[in-house]
């Protein structure tokens, strides 16, 4: 079944839950809770990538995430480090992280691919066209699906040139990154083409603005977190149906339930009963 990556934001300013888990103890407890809810991977991040977010110094990022990574990895969790900084990636690997989730796809720090290549961890290469402060300035595409596939293939090539084998690569279409409104739906409709590139594919739609815009409709009503979580669970199932290896979410329980129902619908683990 499609894996679930639970989000552990150790930040004061993430768009959905910023500040709730900034203290290491709170973040570690949250990670344990996500595992209990069905998460297979915990993605720990210390720098918000919400639209307009400012960069965080690597030293501050590491002070936030390393105690959390070390504690959760020591308890046996499969931990991913969400960072664009090669120095943070290396420190997190040393602390027990087994996946580097780089939203810049290795473009944000020229040393990132070398750090990953010198290790034995996997890497998420996300489609990216610029930092959060101005990423929408780069949201122009001649043909979004074609451009998205070509740019992701370019990142696979760059990783291979750095010495990272395809079996260690995970691709992410970068929903919400350098893509406005309807462009995110175009990217999701291109998932089959992205899966066909070859490496595993991770999809992250959780609570993002394009879902709220779809639910708000022409009236522009306020969309609650619970409604965004329901929409996220639906997109998680559709991503799984399109061949995604994993989905990255805040509400692990809702997505776990949705994927369980989907797998039963497909005749997996029927379990019998009336």
Residue 208 catalytic?
yes
124 to each of 102, 169, 204, how far by Cα in Å? 6, 6, 12
Give the span between the Cα atoms of 212 and 82, in whole angstroms.
Answer: 24
Catalytic pick among 64, 200, 207, 248: 248
Give the pair of three-digit tokens for residue 18: 């910023």
Q: Residue 236's closest CA among 252, 223, 222?
A: 252
Answer yes or no: are the C-beta atoms of 66 and 95 closer than 8 Å: yes
Residue 248 catalytic?
yes
Give the span between the Cα atoms of 141 and 51, in whole angstroms.
Answer: 19
Catalytic pick among 179, 207, 208, 228: 208
| Residues whose CB falls within 8 Å of the CB of residue 200, separated by 6 or more in sequence, listed in order | 169, 170, 171, 245, 246
The residues annotated with a catalytic role in the active site are: 208, 248
């Amino acid at each position: 079944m499609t894996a679930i990556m639970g989000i552990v934001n150790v930040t004061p300013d993430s768009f959905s839950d910023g500040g709730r888990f900034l203290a290491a103890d709170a973040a570690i407890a949250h990670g344990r809770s996500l595992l209990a809810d069905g998460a297979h991977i915990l993605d720990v991040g210390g720098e918000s990538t919400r639209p307009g977010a400012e960069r965080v110094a690597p030293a501050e990022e590491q002070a936030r995430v390393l105690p959390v990574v070390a504690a959760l990895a020591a308890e046996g969790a499969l931990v991913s480090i969400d960072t664009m900084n090669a120095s943070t990636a290396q420190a997190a690997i040393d602390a027990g992280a087994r996946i580097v989730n780089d939203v810049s796809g290795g473009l944000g720090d020229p040393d990132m691919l070398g750090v990953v290549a010198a290790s034995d961890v996997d890497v998420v290469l996300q489609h990216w066209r610029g930092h959060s402060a101005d990423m929408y300035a780069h949201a122009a595409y001649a043909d979004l699906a074609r451009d998205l596939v070509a740019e992701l293939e370019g990142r696979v090539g760059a990783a291979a040139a750095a010495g990272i084998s395809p079996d260690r690569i995970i691709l992410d279409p970068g929903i919400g990154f350098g893509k406005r409104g309807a462009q995110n739906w175009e990217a999701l409709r291109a998932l089959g083409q992205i899966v066909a590139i070859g490496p595993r594919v991770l999809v992250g739609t959780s609570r993002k603005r394009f879902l709220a815009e779809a639910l708000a409709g022409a009236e522009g009503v306020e969309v609650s977190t619970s409604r965004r979580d329901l929409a996220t669970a639906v997109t998680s199932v559709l991503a799984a149906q399109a061949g995604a290896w994993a989905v990255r979410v805040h509400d692990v329980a809702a997505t776990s339930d949705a994927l369980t129902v989907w797998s039963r619908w497909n005749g997996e683990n029927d379990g019998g009963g009336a």
